Structure formats: structure tokens, C-alpha cells
């Protein structure tokens, strides 16, 4: 394209609004379409409705200069756009398969207004074969618009960083010229990277080699994203399986994984034992991949085993606490502080959060729970048991507690002095559900340390 394209983003979630902020700051007029008026009102005010480092300044600047245009209307946005990016939700069905109703509804509605030269880009994570179904929707509507799969690889909490200093940008389809036009959008963002990063308050990594632009088949692009996420969950579950063994043989899982990850063929990343993975991507993508395998006659047994182990980890954390407090039934009437409700530090997202699962399980076992998260209290409230008391800060969460479980590694939890934990707690037990504390510092403060695969108690 000789001039910068006009873009429409369908959906203003983590991926949609982050992408919109980047295209706008690269000089492209960007419509953001969402039926949720409260989300649109937030964007109009120059703010994201969720927490993501560096995003608000970009949204504010885009709205101020008319480069981000919030709307609920396809008719207002799609006919004006050269590239339409679908980033609508793909929740999972009760059987674990992906619910694609929003994907197909967005495509059906957009098909009414697409100009003939417009490119429809699927950025939502979808099972392999979805693109073929969307293309059939277009054929049924009597249009022949190009369709491209463009999976996202953004981590919540570091989404802008990941987009600006990317590993790879992947586009899948059957026409090279169309794929190059979509890649051109990302090349424009890369050219504006320094200015965008400065406005967002982000710093470039110390060492960075430019990421790759990759053109692949449509089906390959659809499969790459879920395969990547499934492999990362395998590494987490593998580390947790070895942590279970470490707890029984007297090994330290951090030492084991450091030594294992030092092998360049393996690498240390994601070999982290703890309370298990969560969030809006990993659990859903793993379930979707398993379902896609079964639909196509393939039983992905290793991935199913990884998923099953992950689901046991919040319960394992609680079992370790029970062992110290006196065994079965020892939680009844106890007050337990849970620090961390977001599924990971750096985000307000509490979907499939291990911290929430731990808090709810404690309630079911008769404990009183005082929980706190610096960003996710509000979002977590939707799935927390109503008996959980949401505290305003660390001190109120710890006040009168018999034990504390640190379930998310927010810096303010990890750097909170062990002596202050000891002073605030009524009891003496600190459960490090992510293996982030210095064991010696905790024990020197007079606390009973419990880690996952760090068998100091034995």
C-alpha cells in the first residue's frame, strides 16, 4: 500500500486494544469496534478498561489525535477500512472445544460492509480449520475478500513490549501479495517503535535481534499459536511433575531446573514449578488443541496429561499447608491470607487464576480467607467465593492470619520483608506457591517456609 491503511479492530480486549494502540501510534487511523459501551466509554476517555503497562498513554494520544475511533458500528468502520482485524473472544465450551460463535458472528456482520479490496485478518486464537469456515461465510455472502490468519504472541503484562520487540510476526494465507500487505502494517509499527516505546515508558531490551516476518500456509498459521502455548504448558507441567518428586526425595526444584535448563537444547524458560498456569490463553488453548485433535482423529495424550497435572497443583499447595497445620480438617476455622489473584504479575486478569482457585478451595474446606491483589481485586471478585474478604492492602490481608499463601509473584509481595510478614501474621507459616522467596531469609525471620519442590521441611 502506497499510503498507510485504515484499520478496523473488532474487539477491544487485551489483543484488540493493544493492537489498536500500536497501529494508531504508527499513524494509521484505527476504528475499535465493541458492543460493550462501558469499554468504549473507557477508550473514549483515553484509558484502557484493564491494566497493561504503558497502554494508557498510547490510547490517550490516539484518541486525542483522532487516530483511535471507538464505535459499536460495523457500518461506520468496516467500509472505511483496508484491513479488518478480528480479535473477538473465543471462550471454551464445556467439553473444552473452542466456542467460535463470536468469530463467525463478526465475520458474518463484517461481510455486509467489506469493500472489495479489504483484507480480513483473524488475530483471535482459533482451532485449525476455522479459516476455511470463515472463507465459506464470505462465499455464501457473495464476496471474495482475502482472508489471512495472523496469530498473536502477546503476553499479558508485557503485551506492548512483546509487540514492539517481537520474536516473529506470522501471516498465513494463499496469496503472497496479500500477506505482504498485512506484514506492511507491522513494518510500519516497527518503523515507529522508538517513538511508541518512549510514549509508553518502555525501554528496549539490552540485546535484541530483529524478529522474523514469516509467511506460511493458512492452516499452519492457525496451528502455530496453539502449538506454541501447548509446548510452554508442557514445560511448566514437566517442572511441576519433577517438583512433586523433589518434595519426596529431598531435592530442590530450583537447582534441578537450573541444571536442566543450562542445557542449550532445553533452555531454562518456563521450567518453573509452582501453583500451575492459568489465564485466558493457556488453559483455553490447550483444551482447544486437545479437542481439535480428537475432532481430527488424533489423541494428544501428552498434552492431556499436562493439563490433568496442572489442575491438581492448587490442591497440592493446600495439601502442603495442611500437612504443616495438622493434617486433614486442619483448615477449619483458620484464617489464611492469599496474596495474588491475577493469574500472573503485571496484569489485572484473574481468569483461570490459581490464586482464585486456592482461595475458593480454602473456603470450601472451612477456612476464612483474606485476599489481596494490587491490580486484580475487582476482576477477581467475579469468580471468588463471596465469603472471601478482599483486603485493601498487604497489611490488612495478613492481619490475624494463621498462614499466608503468596500465589502471584507481584514485586511488592516478593520484596516485602520477611520480618514484616512475621510481625503481621498471627501464625508462622509462609507458603511460597511460586518459589520466589529466599528460604534462609524467611526462616531467619522465624517463619515456617513451604515451597513447591523445595523440601526444606523434610
Distances (CA, A) of 455 to 280, 395, 400: 31, 28, 27
- Ranges of beta strands (E only) in 57-98 are 68-71, 83-86
Between the alpha carbon of residue 405 and those of residues 42, 139, 250, the distances in Å are 34, 54, 22
**229-234, long-range: CB < 8 A, 24+ apart:** 229/125, 229/281, 229/282, 229/285, 229/286, 230/285, 230/286, 230/289, 230/303, 230/306, 232/270, 232/282, 233/277, 233/282, 233/286, 233/303, 233/306, 233/307, 233/310, 234/302, 234/303, 234/306
Q: Cβ(456)–Cβ(449) under 8 Å?
A: yes
Distance CA 11, CA 30 (A): 12
Q: Show which residues are catalytic.
A: 281
CA distance 336 to 321: 10
Contact present, 421 and 398 (Cβ < 8 Å) = yes
The cell 482451532 sits on which residue?
127
Helix H or strand E segment including 129 = none
Burial label for 428, CB within 10 Å (0-12, 13-18, 19+), is: middle
Q: What is the DSSP string of 201-242?
A: T----SS-PPPEEEEE-HHHHHHHHHHHHHHHHHHHHHHHHH
Q: How far apart are CA 95 and CA 98, in angstroms?
A: 9
Name the CA dihedral angle for 414, 419, 424, 427, rounded to a multiple of 10 degrees.
100
- What are the backbone dihedrals phi and psi of residue 439, each rounded to the nearest 5 degrees, phi first? -60, -45
**Rounded distance, CA 82 to CA 235, Å?**
40
Amino acid at each position: 500500500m502506497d499510503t498507510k491503511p485504515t484499520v478496523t479492530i473488532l474487539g477491544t480486549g487485551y489483543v484488540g486494544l493493544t493492537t489498536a494502540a500500536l497501529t494508531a501510534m504508527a499513524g494509521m487511523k484505527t476504528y475499535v469496534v465493541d458492543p460493550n459501551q462501558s469499554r468504549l466509554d473507557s477508550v473514549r476517555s483515553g484509558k484502557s478498561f484493564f491494566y497493561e503497562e504503558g497502554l494508557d498513554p498510547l490510547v490517550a494520544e490516539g484518541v486525542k489525535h483522532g487516530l483511535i475511533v471507538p464505535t459499536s458500528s460495523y457500518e461506520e468502520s468496516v467500509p472505511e477500512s483496508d484491513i479488518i482485524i478480528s480479535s473477538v473472544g473465543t471462550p471454551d465450551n464445556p467439553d473444552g472445544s473452542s466456542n467460535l460463535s463470536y468469530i463467525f458472528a463478526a465475520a458474518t456482520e463484517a461481510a455486509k460492509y467489506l469493500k472489495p479490496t479489504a483484507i480480513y485478518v483473524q488475530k483471535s486464537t482459533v482451532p485449525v480449520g476455522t479459516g476455511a469456515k470463515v472463507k465459506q461465510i464470505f462465499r455464501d455472502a457473495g464476496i471474495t475478500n482475502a482472508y489471512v490468519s495472523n496469530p498473536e504472541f502477546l503476553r499479558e503484562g508485557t503485551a506492548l513490549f512483546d509487540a514492539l520487540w517481537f520474536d516473529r510476526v506470522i501471516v498465513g494465507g494463499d496469496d503472497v501479495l496479500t500477506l505482504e500487505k498485512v506484514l506492511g502494517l507491522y513494518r510500519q509499527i516497527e518503523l515507529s517503535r522508538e517513538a511508541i516505546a518512549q510514549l509508553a515508558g518502555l525501554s528496549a531490551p539490552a540485546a535484541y535481534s530483529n524478529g522474523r516476518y514469516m509467511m506460511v500456509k493458512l492452516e499452519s498459521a492457525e496451528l502455530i499459536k496453539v502449538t506454541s502455548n501447548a509446548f510452554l504448558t508442557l514445560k511448566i507441567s514437566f517442572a511441576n511433575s519433577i517438583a512433586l518428586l523433589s518434595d519426596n526425595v529431598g531435592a530442590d526444584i530450583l537447582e534441578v531446573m537450573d541444571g536442566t535448563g543450562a542445557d542449550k537444547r532445553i533452555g531454562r524458560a518456563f521450567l518453573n514449578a509452582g501453583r500451575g498456569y492459568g489465564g485466558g490463553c493457556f488453559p483455553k488453548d490447550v483444551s482447544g488443541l486437545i479437542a481439535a485433535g480428537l475432532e481430527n482423529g488424533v489423541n494428544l495424550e501428552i498434552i492431556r496429561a499436562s493439563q490433568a497435572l496442572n489442575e491438581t497443583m492448587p490442591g497440592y499447595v493446600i495439601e502442603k499447608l495442611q500437612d504443616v497445620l495438622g493434617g486433614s480438617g486442619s483448615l477449619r476455622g483458620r484464617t489464611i491470607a492469599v496474596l495474588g489473584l491475577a493469574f500472573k504479575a503485571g496484569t489485572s486478569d484473574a481468569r483461570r487464576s490459581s490464586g482464585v482457585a486456592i482461595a475458593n478451595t480454602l473456603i470450601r474446606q472451612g477456612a476464612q480467607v483474606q485476599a489481596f491483589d494490587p491490580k486484580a481485586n475487582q476482576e477477581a471478585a467475579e469468580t471468588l467465593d463471596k465469603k472471601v474478604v478482599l483486603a485493601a492492602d498487604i497489611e490488612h490481608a495478613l492481619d490475624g492470619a494463621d498462614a499466608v499463601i503468596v500465589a502471584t509473584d507481584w514485586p511488592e509481595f516478593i520484596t516485602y520483608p520477611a520480618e514484616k510478614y512475621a510481625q503481621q501474621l498471627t501464625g508462622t507459616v509462609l507458603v511460597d506457591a511460586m518459589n520466589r522467596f529466599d528460604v534462609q531469609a524467611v526462616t531467619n525471620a522465624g517463619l515456617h517456609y513451604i515451597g513447591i519442590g523445595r523440601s526444606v521441611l523434610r
